[in-house]
Amino acid sequence: MALISSTSPHTTVSNNTGAFMRQVIYATLPGLAVLTWQFGWGTVINVLWAVVVALVSEALILKARGRPVAFYLKDYSAVLTAVLLALALPPTSPWWLTLIGVGFAIIVAKQLYGGLGMNPFNPAMVGYVLLLISFPVAMTQWIAPGEAPSLAQSWQLFTGQLPVDGLSGATPLDTFRTWAGNDSELASHGILDGQFAGLGWEWVNLAFLLGGLYLISRKIITWHIPAGFLGGLALPALIAWLINPVRFSDPVFQIFSGGAMLGAFFIATDPVSAATSRSGRLIYAALIGVLIWVIRSFGGYPDAVAFSVLLLNLCAPFIDYYTQPRTYGHNKANRGTNSAKQGGGS
């Protein structure tokens, strides 16, 4: 039998960065399918266009930096950024909106910081926030669920040939935030008449939940961030709803509306910009969830996943610093004993 002459470890796995990124992309497909079913083909068109923009942007900036283009494109990180940003955009988004958001996410939020592994903020959310602040009207024009335009109409919306005004409407979160406390007005909005959350959006979030559970089962992500995220969002929602159910929505509505599941399983779990220790992940994610509820309930934006994730990206190094696991074999008693010995020897 031939001896192994190489150094340990001798076991190998086929997973690499590209393989992990592809698994995350595959997990978004149920959500993409339900978004297309509820809101039309605009999201599919946006995803395809966003991927093209991301690859071209990444290739150009890599070429300018003197880096091997093909090597870095094979990690699929640019494709994943494009997919996540496109999924968060309204299906009525024109081509130029996606171009600006994805280009900024890749060139500024990712590559100008040094590329994959160096960016302190989630690139997709940086691009999203840029668009939301710069073009608030275009970023809030969602089609009413179940009234999806045809493929031809979606293409016309994408190219700017069809006006959006006659097709778009308020989302469940926006409707509830606007009319909270007015029962008669809320009752008149069918967008809130879902089975257990906002009409249409409950199925979108269930689809992303399915994809997220797939990622956990494949050990692409751990349960800590999704659990902390959803718990941090649900707990204050439950407390407020029990105190004043007229003013505040119930926790089920909160976690199955807007981008909650997309944020919990696909955005907050970004391994580069999130906290890394186990307890740190729970704290990091729970604070994101609490912040989302605060902004949704008292802020100026109906959904706040992007803002909350970026703010906690900023805090992730601080959280990791204070939640580092103790080095194996060392504890407070040992450190005290060693210090005493050193003091006696001196």
Q: With 60 as the cut, is the pLDDT of residue 320 above it? A: yes
Q: Cβ–Cβ contacts within 10 Å for residue 140, how many?
A: 17
Taking each helix axis from N to C end, the angle separating 201-217 and 17-27, rounded to the nearest 10 degrees, works out to: 150
pLDDT of residue 199: 81
Assign 324 a pLDDT band (cuts: 50, 70, 90): confident
pLDDT at 331: 59
d(CA 310, CA 293): 15
Coil vs helix vs strand at 121 = coil
Alpha carbons 167 and 92: distance in angstroms, whole number: 9
Chain center to CA of 306: 7
Percentage of residues of the chain with pLDDT beyond 90: 57
Nearest to 87 by CA among 52, 126, 141, 43: 43
Dist CA 124 CA 73 (whole Å): 17
CA dihedral 105, 126, 175, 204 (to 10 degrees): 60
* pLDDT 10s digits, 179-215: 666 666 666 566 667 777 778 889 999 999 999 999 9
Distances (CA, A) of 16 to 19, 74, 166, 215, 277: 5, 10, 46, 15, 21
Q: How confident is the model at residue 15 (pLDDT cuts 50, 70, 90)?
A: low
Question: pLDDT tens digits, residue range 230-279?
Answer: 999 999 999 999 999 888 889 999 999 989 999 999 999 999 999 999 99
Burial class of residue 330 in the structure, from the number of CB atoms within 10 Å of its CB (0-12 exposed, 13-18 middle, 19+ buried): exposed
pLDDT band at residue 11 under the 50/70/90 scheme? low
Picking from 218, 197, 202, 274, the residue whose alpha carbon sits closest to that of residue 27 is 218
Give yes or no for residue 75 having a pLDDT over 80: yes
Q: Please tell me the predicted confidence (pLDDT) of residue 16.
A: 83
Determine the pLDDT at residue 345.
45
Q: What is the mean pLDDT of residues 268-296?
A: 94
pLDDT at 5 over 70: no
Residues 46, 87: Cα–Cα separation, whole Å: 8
pLDDT in tens, 148-176: 888 998 899 899 887 776 566 677 777 76
* Mean pLDDT, range 284-294, rounded to an integer: 96
**Residue 200 β-bridge partners:** none
Strand, helix or coil for residue 321: helix
pTM of the model: 0.87
Give the other-Cβ count within 10 Å of 79's Cβ: 21
DSSP letter, residue 328: T
Q: What is the pLDDT of residue 336?
A: 45
pLDDT at 195: 78
Split at pLDDT 50, 70, 90, the class of 37 is very high
Q: What is the mean pLDDT of the chain?
A: 86
**Statement: residue 337 has pLDDT above 50:** no
pLDDT at 338: 47
**236 contact partners, CB below 8 Å, separation of at least 6:** 290, 293, 294
Q: How far apart are CA 161 and CA 324, in angstroms?
A: 54
Beta bridge pairs of residue 169? 142
Do the Cβ atoms of 286 and 224 come closer than 8 Å? no
Phi-psi region of 114 (alpha: psi -120 to 50; beta: other; left: phi over 0): left
Mean pLDDT computed over 75-94: 94
Measured CA to CA, the distance from residue 331 to residue 309 in angstroms comes to: 33
pLDDT at 319 over 80: yes
Q: In the block, which residue shows the tokens 């069918």? A: 190
